[in-house]
Amino acid sequence: MTAHPVVVRDDPGLLEPPKRERCASNRPAIFGGAPLFAETMPILRPALPPTRRLLRRCREVLESGHLTNGKLVQKLEATAARYLGVPECVAVSSCTAGLMLVERCLGLEGQVIVPSFTFFATAHSLLWNGLEPVLVDCDPRSWNLDLERVRCALGPGVSAILAVHVYGNPAASRELERLAKWAGVRLIFDAAHAFGARRDGQSVGGAGDAEIFSLSPTKLLVAGEGGLIATRDPELAEALRAARNYGDAGDYDCRLLGLNARMTEFHAALALAGLPLVERHVSRRNRLARIYEDYLANEPGVTVQKIRPQDRAARKDFSIVIDAARFGISRDFLHSALEQENIQVRRYFDPPLHRQRLYRRYYRPGLDPLEVTERISRGVLSLPLFPQMSEDDTARIAGRILEIRDWAALEPEGNIPRCR
C-alpha cells in the first residue's frame, strides 16, 4: 500500500498524521463507503424485564380490580426506598410531575437556581409553579452545577437550588447541602438520570429535601411512564401523597393544590420487575462507557465527562464534546457522518435552556455568562449506550468516529466544514 501524504496545516492541533490506514474497506459512508451497520444502531433500547413474570402481575391487577395507586405501587415504593437507602419513596406519574409537586409542597417562591445544561423538563417544573429560573453554569469536568457559580447566584430572592445529576454523574450533594444550609434555601435534585448512581459509595437519592427519579423508557429504571420521589422528610412525603391525589389527604377537604399524578398498578408492576436488573445494567453501562473512553478520551479535541473514582455514574448517556478546531471536524459533521453509518446519535442538551425560546429571557449574562454551558452544548454528541449492546459494537462505533476524522483530514481543503 502506498504511503499517504501527511497533511500539514497552520493549526498545530492538526499536524499529527492520521492514525489509521486509509483503505477501501474502512471508507466511511459519508465518503461513499458502506454504512457500518446494515440496520440502525439505536441510541438506546429500553431495559425491560422478562415478560412472563410481568404478565402474571398484570393479570393479578386486572383480577383485583384495583388499577391505580394500590398494592404494587406501595410495594414499588418500599422496595425502591430500601434499594436507595432512604426512609420514604413516593411514586408519581412522571418525574416532571414529581418535581412540580415537590416544589409546590415545599412552598417555594421567587427564584430557583437551576443549570442551563439540562433537559427542559427540569425547568418546566419551575415555570408551572410560577417560579423564576436563575440559570447557572456547569463545571467543565463533571458537567454538573458549578458550585462557585451557585454561590454567586444565591441572593435574597432565591428560595431553592434545583440540581441535576447530568447523565447520571452524581452531583456534589454534600457541598450543595452546605451551600443551601448557609443560604437558608431548599435543595432539590432532578435525579431523572441517576437511578443506580452512587456518590462516595452511597446511593444517590438521600440528599437535600428530595430527589426525583424518572421511570420513563429512556431512563435507568423503566415503568413506561413514572417518577419516584425519594426523601428523608416524612412530612414532605405525607404532603406529596396527598398532592399526587389532587391534594386530597383522604378527608375530601383539600388544603393544597394537587394534581392527578398517581402511578397505575401496571406501571408499578413493570418497574418492580425491572428493579432487580438495575445493578447489572448500571455496571454494564459503565463497562461500555469505559470502552468509548479507552478509544476517545485521549484524542485531541475530544472531552468526556469526568466521573470521580470514588463515585459510580449511572451512565444514562455517554456523551463526548468535540472541539472542532482541535479535532479537525465539527460536531455537526460527525453527527451527519454517524447517521450515515446508521448510528443514531443525539445532541443532548443542545440548545441548552438559555438558548431556547421559552427560556431566553432568563439568560442574564451579567450574573452568569454560561461560558462552559455554551462550549459543552456546542460540541456535545451522545452516542449509543444500552445494556444489550455488545462490547464489539461499542468499539466499532468508537473506531468509526476516528476513521471519519482521519478520512476527513485527507479530503481536499474546503470539502469538510472544519468549524461549527
Ligand X SMILES: *Cc1c(COP(=O)(O)O)cnc(C)c1O
Q: Given the rule CB under 6 A, which residues bind ligand X?
A: 94-96, 118-119, 121-122, 164, 190, 192-193, 214, 216, 227
Long-range contacts at 56-60 (CB < 8 A, ≥ 24 apart): 57/269, 57/272, 57/273, 58/266, 58/269
Min CB(262)–ligand X separation in Å: 14
Dump the DSSP string for 364-380.
-TTT---HHHHHHHHHE
Min CB(355)–ligand X separation in Å: 17
Nearer to ligand X, 351 or 399 (CB): 351
HSE value, Cβ hemisphere, 13 Å, CA-based, for 411: 18
Distance, CA of 397 to chain centre? 21
Nearer to ligand X, 193 or 199 (CB): 193
Min CB(2)–ligand X separation in Å: 49
Q: How far apart are CA 227 and CA 240, in angstroms?
A: 12
Contacts of 34 (CB under 8 A, 6+ apart): 27
By DSSP bridging, strand 302-304 and strand 318-322 are: antiparallel
Nearer to ligand X, 110 or 224 (CB): 224
Contacts of 157 (CB under 8 A, 6+ apart): 110, 111, 132
Q: How far apart are CA 302 and CA 320, in angstroms?
A: 6
By DSSP bridging, strand 227-231 and strand 210-214 are: antiparallel
Nearer to ligand X, 118 or 303 (CB): 118
Nearer to ligand X, 121 or 275 (CB): 121
Min CB(352)–ligand X separation in Å: 12
Closest CA to 417 of 320, 301, 335, 324: 324
Min CB(266)–ligand X separation in Å: 16
Residue 370 falls in which region: left (phi positive, over 0), alpha (psi -120 to 50) or beta: left
Q: How far apart are CA 207 and CA 272, in angstroms?
A: 23
Min CB(17)–ligand X separation in Å: 40
Min CB(381)–ligand X separation in Å: 17
- Asked if 198 and 220 touch (Cβ cutoff 8 Å), the reply is no
Read off the amino acid at residue 398. A
Nearer to ligand X, 103 or 299 (CB): 103
Nearer to ligand X, 94 or 305 (CB): 94
Min CB(216)–ligand X separation in Å: 4
How many Cβ atoms are within 10 Å of 393's Cβ, its own excluded?
17
Nearer to ligand X, 164 or 204 (CB): 164
**Measuring CA to CA, how many Å separate 289 from each of 73, 167, 382?**
33, 12, 11
Nearer to ligand X, 29 or 131 (CB): 131
Min CB(217)–ligand X separation in Å: 9
Supply the Cα-derived Rg of the chain in whole angstroms. 23
